[in-house]
Amino acid sequence: MRAPPNAVDAAIAALRAQLGDRVTTSDSERDIHSHDESWHRPHRPDAVAFPASTEEVAQIVRTCAAHGVPVVAYGTGTALEGGAIPEHGGVVVNLRRLDRILRVSADDLDATVEAGVTHQTLNARVRDLGLFFPIDPGADASLGGMAATRASGTNAVRYGTMRENVLGLTVVLADGRIVRTAGRARKSSAGYDLTRLFVGSEGTLGIITEVTVRLAGVPEAIAAAVCSFDSLAGAVDTVIRTIQLGVPVARIELLDDVQMDAVNRYSGLAYPVKDTLFLEFHGSPTSVREDAEQVQQLAAEHGGAAFRWADGHEERRALWAARHDVAYANKALRPGCGLWATDVCVPVSRLAECILETKRDLRESVLLAPLVGHVGDGNFHLAFLVRRDDPREVAEAERLHERLVRRALAMDGTCTGEHGIGTGKMRFLTAEFGEAVDVMRAIKRALDPRGILNPGKVLPPAPTSPGSGLVPPPRPLT
Amino acid sequence: MRAPPNAVDAAIAALRAQLGDRVTTSDSERDIHSHDESWHRPHRPDAVAFPASTEEVAQIVRTCAAHGVPVVAYGTGTALEGGAIPEHGGVVVNLRRLDRILRVSADDLDATVEAGVTHQTLNARVRDLGLFFPIDPGADASLGGMAATRASGTNAVRYGTMRENVLGLTVVLADGRIVRTAGRARKSSAGYDLTRLFVGSEGTLGIITEVTVRLAGVPEAIAAAVCSFDSLAGAVDTVIRTIQLGVPVARIELLDDVQMDAVNRYSGLAYPVKDTLFLEFHGSPTSVREDAEQVQQLAAEHGGAAFRWADGHEERRALWAARHDVAYANKALRPGCGLWATDVCVPVSRLAECILETKRDLRESVLLAPLVGHVGDGNFHLAFLVRRDDPREVAEAERLHERLVRRALAMDGTCTGEHGIGTGKMRFLTAEFGEAVDVMRAIKRALDPRGILNPGKVLPPAPTSPGSGLVPPPRPLT
């Protein structure tokens, strides 16, 4: 969809009446909100709005709905598949002013925040209570954006993803109504699981304005270590055995030799340039020791060196900062290149095969693409370093990307473990889900019949052939 | 909805052509499939079908859809809120012949089973691999039914519920199409979370025919114990502190004094007739000892006696058998009575208050209602023992039930932690979710526009006033 210019103008005029100078059509703001951190082509919105409350978000949606103008929610702009790029123009709703931590309960180990609060902000607030929020994508993303993308990160192997850690949401629907998807009970069998439906819906079914999340107690003991391997297969097999034995590692991250080289250069470190695991153990001093010994033994059996421990808070922080800075490290590896970051996830039994085949592709290619992964979940990332102005490089990245995703799907995996569909993975959705995509389309049509919420995302265009009764032909847009 | 008799006859004739004597209209089978284990009024279906494959389920649904006849999925008939009672007649689809364990992966810690496989059958199969499936509702329910009800049980405090343990489903849609909701990756950000949408939908959005579940490794060490308390508050506060400290108990179950009396009588045991916790710890020998010591200390601080250990597999089995037999124990407590089992779930910080207020209600009532709970989740059950032929007793149970549910909702809890909505909790759905119920209705209408799937369940009738654009008026039934 794309709204006609007069409808856009009328919507913006109405928004100005509501929000004053908190709606803007300035070129600079439209540029800032034309892209995320992905490889994908930017597109400017017609306007950017900065609401300060759920009610204001609802007003904006009602106004845009009345004029048939697209509404695109925007958190920190750190997404990696184009999910927040306003492909069809319209109004970008920047949620950064929804920045209040509404409540924290140390007794229930949960917190409710407005959608614009980032995970680092939440963590700074709950640290003194002996608590932390475990989901940590690389960027300091907003909780609303993380919920919308079903994000995860390094701790997911132990603590789960946003799917497991969101207890409930406040959501503005396509008609501007405000709903709450759940109370605060840890479990419920009441009704359809709307929380999980909106988590991962990337702003296409509603705009998330408040998030209630689980918190975890800071473990009594934490130990982090780095372990280099003689072979990639050895590193991956160590991970697979660790998971199969049920060792409750908190983090188990793989960085391949290319990635380690980039990390060393960027962060001024001197790790061996080898396939490497970064590990963290949480628990009591005894259980941490037991867990670490068990994994060290597995590593040794698979060609791993002795653990290099990061003792103390500061050393641990430096270790994980280096891990979280891989995107910057990769950009620095080949200056002037674009970074095309992608991720897939496979059953852990197929992980070695999937990674080794992918590395073989890379060895036979001219392109450089460091590999890093939350391998305990079967999830790994490639970052293609590509000169945008070289069509051969772009074509080669496309070819390798296609092979990577098809390989993961053939192994009963998924085309994205944590980055989302956005526009970048849209064409793989049907390959992954088959006719279940029609169910997704039916839900989209039921909740957003006019298609104003983040149009052009997640769901590939329906085939033109007449469908079954489940999926009526698209309605005309107004 | 209720289909006209000629439509039902035509549907049954067509089903006979497809299934032969695996569709029946015999009084005995219709009686068997007229009820579950709940208090709720039975209702006979017009026919019962026994498909043996997903494709046959799809055929049945297509036939019933063509004739506008209700289709009600049925697992083991052990539900507690009337979810499988064919309120509007039609065809009950008994899934017990879908009894194949399709695959087990010790490497990926998962298994795929047909919907009729029960959790005990699955556990018997995977035990020799050193694995177990942790979700254990009291009854030996089918995995399909457990998924449809979003069931949980005693292990949920550590291992989660069906929400967390289902990786993917095969579902027959209302038009007979067969979809698969997910692959086997441990996490995914691809598209809408259809798995979680069908989990807990109680057969109203589709019929689950295959379930892929996570398995867990049998822990190296297991220890179980019983601990009696001087007061209910002491027992509940011990639970609350245990959860708040993050001790990873595998089970922490509360049985009040009334329940303990019933258990002693029924299972021939001699526990003190006091408010009591049943506990289980999983881990390494060291971590189990540490965890148990920590909880024992908390218990001692709250008036708990020394742990009475159930050593060895057989003692543990007997302990948990007594716990799982509470429904029978309760029935035996007042012979001739009906058992009205209900459950609620609240944030754990409100658990003591919720239970103590509920017990006050019970002390002031003529009715007997043992209390038992998966209290680590904030979830507890009451079992009202009621003479069906005494209207005063029925009215009193209704009054107490109403107060219980309203109390849980006022504490930001849920009207059911694990039993489902069925018909029994339908009238509380709007109180719990407000306008979000309209979102559920819109989804129901999108996926089952003619309302043939388990009609009369989960969603209360829509108010007659004209709704917003989100919820168009109901379509006429054909």
Whose CA is closest to A43, among A7, A70, A21? A70
Of A453, A456, A471, residue with least CA distance to A175 = A453
Average pLDDT for B48-56? 98
Q: What is the pLDDT of residue B472?
A: 41
**What is the mean predicted confidence (pLDDT) over A402-423?**
98
Give ∠ CA B446-A146-B112 in degrees, rounded to 5.
60
Q: Which residue has the tokens 């498909």?
A: B51
Q: Do B196 and A196 touch (CB under 8 A)?
A: yes
SS3 A148: helix
Residue B458 lies in a domain: no
What is residue B312's predicted lDDT score, i.e. its pLDDT? Answer: 87
Amino acid at B191: G
B423 touches chain A (CB under 8 A): no
Confidence of residue B467 (pLDDT cuts 50, 70, 90): very low
Question: Cβ contact (<8 Å) for A175 and B378?
Answer: no
Q: Does A105 reside within a domain?
A: yes
Dmax over CA atoms of chain A, in Å, equals: 68
- Residue A267 DSSP label: H
Residues within 8 A of A (CB atoms), B 195-214 only: 196-197, 199-201, 205
DSSP 3-state of B368: strand
Point out the residue among B188, B349, B421 whose CB comes nearest to the CB of A107. Answer: B349
Q: Do B429 and A191 touch (CB under 8 A)?
A: yes
Whether A445 and chain B come into contact, CB under 8 Å, resolves to: yes
Scan residues 211-240 of A and list those with Cβ closer than 8 Å to B. Answer: 216-217, 219, 240
How far apart (Å, rounded) are the C-alpha atoms in residues B243 and B349?
Answer: 10
Mean pLDDT of B401-428: 98
| Token pair belonging to B244 | 């708040």
pLDDT at B415 over 90: yes
Return the residue in B189, B201, B418 with the most chain A beta carbons within 10 A, the one to mutate for interface testing. B189
Chain A window 335-354: which residues touch B at a Cβ cutoff of 8 Å? 345-349
Residue B469 above 70 pLDDT?
no
CATH number of A142's domain? 3.30.465.10
**Cβ contacts from A onto B, under 8 A:** 316
In a domain, A178, yes or no: yes
Domain shared by A108 and A210, yes or no: yes
Does position B1 have pLDDT exceeding 80, yes or no? no
| C-beta separation of B369 from B385 below 8 A | yes
pLDDT tens across B283-320, in order?
999 999 999 999 999 999 999 999 999 978 899 999 99
pLDDT, mean over chain B: 94
Tell me the average pLDDT across B84-88.
97
**Rounded distance, CA B347 to CA A57, Å?**
29
Does B10 reach chain A within 8 Å, measured CB to CB?
no
Residues B204 and B260 in one domain: no
The reply to whether A456 falls in a domain is no
Percent helix, percent strand, percent coil in chain A, to nearest 5: 40, 20, 40
- Picking from A309-313, B181-185, B400-404, B472-476, which range would have the lowest pLDDT averaged per residue? B472-476
Q: Do A193 and B196 touch (CB under 8 A)?
A: yes
Interface test with A, best of B129, B187, B197, B213 (most A CBs within 10 A): B187
Q: How many CB atoms lie within 10 A of CB A55?
A: 13
- Look up the domain containing B416 and give its range: 334-452
CATH number, domain of B31, equals: 3.30.43.10
| B311 in A contact zone (CB under 8 Å) | no
Per-residue pLDDT for A348 more than 50? yes
Domain end, chosen from B294, B310, B327, is at B327
Residue with tokens 């002037």: A336
Q: Is residue B73 part of a domain?
A: yes
The secondary structure of residue B426, as a DSSP letter, is: G
**Final residue before a domain boundary, out of B49, B79, B94:** B94
- Which pLDDT score is estimated for B476? 39
Instruction: Over range B4-12, report the average pLDDT.
Output: 94
- pLDDT category, A374, cuts 50, 70, 90? very high
A173 vs B contacts (CB less than 8 Å)? 439, 470
Same domain, A105 and A205: yes
Per-residue pLDDT band for A5 (boundaries 50, 70, 90) equals: confident
Residues B306 and B374 in one domain: no
Q: Place B195 in a pLDDT band, splitting at 50, 70 and 90.
A: very high
Q: Are A119 and A136 in contact (CB under 8 A)?
A: yes
Quote the pLDDT of residue B337.
92
pLDDT score, position A464: 65
Q: Tell me, yes or no, whether B438 and B375 share the same domain.
A: yes
| Overall pTM > 0.90 | yes
> Is the pLDDT assigned to residue B360 strictly greater than 50?
yes
More confident residue, A142 or A470: A142
Summarize the confidence of residues B372-389 as an average pLDDT. 96
pLDDT of residue A468: 42
Reported confidence tier of residue A473, pLDDT bands at 50, 70, 90: very low
CATH of the domain at B246: 3.30.70.2190
Q: Do B371 and B339 share a domain, yes or no?
A: yes
Check pLDDT > 60 for residue B213.
yes
Q: How far is the C-alpha of B345 from the C-alpha of B407, rounded, in Å?
A: 10
| Structural domains of chain B, count | 4
Nearest C-alpha neighbor of A226 from the set A281, A266, A286? A281
* Domain C-terminal end among A276, A292, A327: A327
| Nearest alpha carbon to residue A350 among A276, A429, A417, A409 | A409
The C-alpha angle with vertex A383 and arms to A92 and A394, in degrees rounded to 5, equals 85
Residue of A192, A199, A204, A245 to mutate for B, most B C-beta atoms under 10 A: A192
Read off the tokens for B441. Answer: 């209705």
The answer as to whether A393 is a domain residue is yes
Residue A441 inside a domain? The answer is no
Chain B residues closer than 8 Å to A475 by CB: none
Q: What percent of chain A has pLDDT over 90?
A: 91
Taking 80 as the threshold, does the pLDDT of residue A145 lie above it? Answer: yes
Tell whether B369 and B268 lie within a shared domain.
no
Give ipTM to 2 decimals.
0.95
User: Mean per-residue pLDDT for B8-22?
Assistant: 98
pLDDT band, residue A138 (cuts 50/70/90): confident
CATH code of the domain containing A333: 3.30.70
Q: Is A304 part of any domain?
A: yes
**CB neighbourhood size of B39 (10 A):** 22
> Cβ–Cβ of B417/A378 closer than 8 Å?
no
Residue with tokens 């990756």: B185
Mark whether B422 and B368 lie in a shared domain.
yes
Rounded CA-CA distance A115/A118 in Å is 8
Q: B345 and B297: one domain? A: no
Give the pLDDT band of residue A3 (cuts 50, 70, 90).
confident
Q: What is the pLDDT of residue A294?
A: 96
| CA A315 to the chain's CA centroid | 27
CA torsion A204-A206-A210-A213 (nearest 10°) is -60
φ, ψ at B35 (rounded to 5°): -145, 165
Residues A201 and A135 in one domain: yes
* C-alpha to C-alpha distance for A473 and A462, rounded to whole angstroms: 9
Contact by Cβ (8 Å): B75, B28: no
Do residues A171 and A71 make contact, with C-beta atoms less than 8 angstroms apart?
A: no
Give the separation between CA A440 and CA A458, rounded to whole angstroms. Answer: 10
Give the residue carrying structure tokens 């009950």.
B92
Residues A140 and A204 in one domain: yes
**Residue A478 predicted with pLDDT over 80:** no
For residues A168 and A213, membership in a common domain is answered with yes
In whole angstroms, give the CA distance from residue B183 to residue B168.
6
